Structure 1
Amino acid sequence: MMRQCVIIDCDPGVDDAVALLLALAAPELDVLAITTVAGNAPLKKTTRNALMLRQIAGREDVPVVPGVDRPLRRKPSGASEFHGEEGLGYMAAFAAAKGVADGHGVDAIIDRVMARPEQSVALVVLGPMTNLAMALRKAPMIAARLGPVVVMGGARSEGGNITASAEYNVWADPEAADEVLRSACDVVMIGLDATHQVRASEDHIAALARLGTPAGDVAAAMLRFSQDVERRIVGGDAPPVHDPCPVAWLMDPGLFNLRPCRIEVETGSELTRGHTSVEFRVDPATARHRWATSADAEGVFSLITDRLQQGPSLA
Structure 2
Amino acid sequence: MALPLLIDTDPGIDDAIAIWLALAAPELSVRGLTAVHGNGLAGACAENAIRILEAAGRSDVPVHLGAGQPLARKFSRQGWGVHGSDGLGGIGLPPAGRGVDGADAVAFLAETLVQAAPGSIALAPIGPLTNIARLLREHPEARQGIREMVVMGGAARENGGNATPHAEYNFWLDPEAADIVCQSGVPMTLVTIETARSVAATPARIARLAAAGTRVAGHVAALLGAYVHDGRSDALFDPLVIAYLIRPDLFVRIPAQCRVATGEDSRLGALLWREASEGAPHALLQAPDPDVIFDLLAQRLRQLP
The TM-score bracket by the shorter chain reads over 0.9
Counterparts of 1:131-142 in structure 2, within 5 Å, are 131-142=131-142
Counterparts of 1:236-275 in structure 2, within 5 Å, are 239-275=234-270
1:284 equivalent in alignment to 2:283? no
Partner of 1:181: 182
Unaligned 5+ segments in structure 2 are none
Q: 1:105 to 1:298 in 2, by over 3 A?
A: same
Aligned residue identity for 1:165: H
How far does residue 210 in structure 1 lie from its aligned partner after superposition? 2.5
SS at match of 1:119: coil
2:288 to 278, 295, 314: 295
How far does residue 93 in structure 1 lie from its aligned partner after superposition? 5.9
* Distance in 1 between residues matched to 2:92 and 2:74, nearest whole Å: 27
Aligned residue identity for 2:237: H
How far does residue 85 in structure 1 lie from its aligned partner after superposition? 2.4
SS at match of 1:141: helix
Partner of 1:56: 55
Farther-moved stretch of structure 1 (33-42 vs 156-165): 156-165
Corresponding pairs, count: 303
Deviations 1:244-301 (A, max 9, x none): 0000000000121111110110000331111001110x3323x110111333322211
With normalisation by structure 1, the TM-score equals 0.92
Counterparts of 1:99-178 in structure 2, within 5 Å, are 99-157=99-157, 159-178=160-179
Deviations 1:25-44 (A, max 9, x none): 11110101011100011112
* Distance in 2 between residues matched to 1:214 and 1:52, nearest whole Å: 14
Q: For the Cα contact (< 8 Å) 1:144–1:185, is it kept in 2?
A: no
With normalisation by structure 2, the TM-score equals 0.95
Deviations 1:136-158 (A, max 9, x none): 12111223431111000011137
Deviations 1:63-102 (A, max 9, x none): 1111111111112223223111221112246432233211
Q: For the Cα contact (< 8 Å) 1:82–1:229, is it kept in 2?
A: no
* Distance in 2 between residues matched to 1:182 and 1:147, nearest whole Å: 17
SS at match of 2:31: strand
Q: For the Cα contact (< 8 Å) 1:195–1:295, is it kept in 2?
A: no
* Distance in 2 between residues matched to 1:57 and 1:87, nearest whole Å: 18
* Distance in 1 between residues matched to 2:226 and 2:64, nearest whole Å: 27
Q: For the Cα contact (< 8 Å) 2:257–2:273, is it kept in 1?
A: yes
Unaligned 5+ segments in structure 1 are none
Aligned residue identity for 2:199: V
Farther-moved stretch of structure 1 (149-158 vs 291-300): 291-300
Partner of 1:304: 297
Q: For the Cα contact (< 8 Å) 2:214–2:301, is it kept in 1?
A: yes
Output the aligned Cα RMSD.
1.5
Moved over 6 A (4+): none
Deviations 1:104-161 (A, max 9, x none): 1111111111111111101001100011111112111223431111000011137111
* Distance in 1 between residues matched to 2:90 and 2:46, nearest whole Å: 17
Partner of 1:204: 205
Aligned residue identity for 2:104: H
Farther-moved stretch of structure 1 (35-44 vs 89-98): 89-98
Between the two proteins, what is the percent identity of the paired residues?
Answer: 38
Q: For the Cα contact (< 8 Å) 2:113–2:144, is it kept in 1?
A: no
Partner of 1:24: 23
Counterparts of 1:79-94 in structure 2, within 5 Å, are 79-92=79-92, 94=94
* Distance in 2 between residues matched to 1:271 and 1:144, nearest whole Å: 36
Aligned residue identity for 1:65: H
Q: For the Cα contact (< 8 Å) 1:17–1:222, is it kept in 2?
A: no
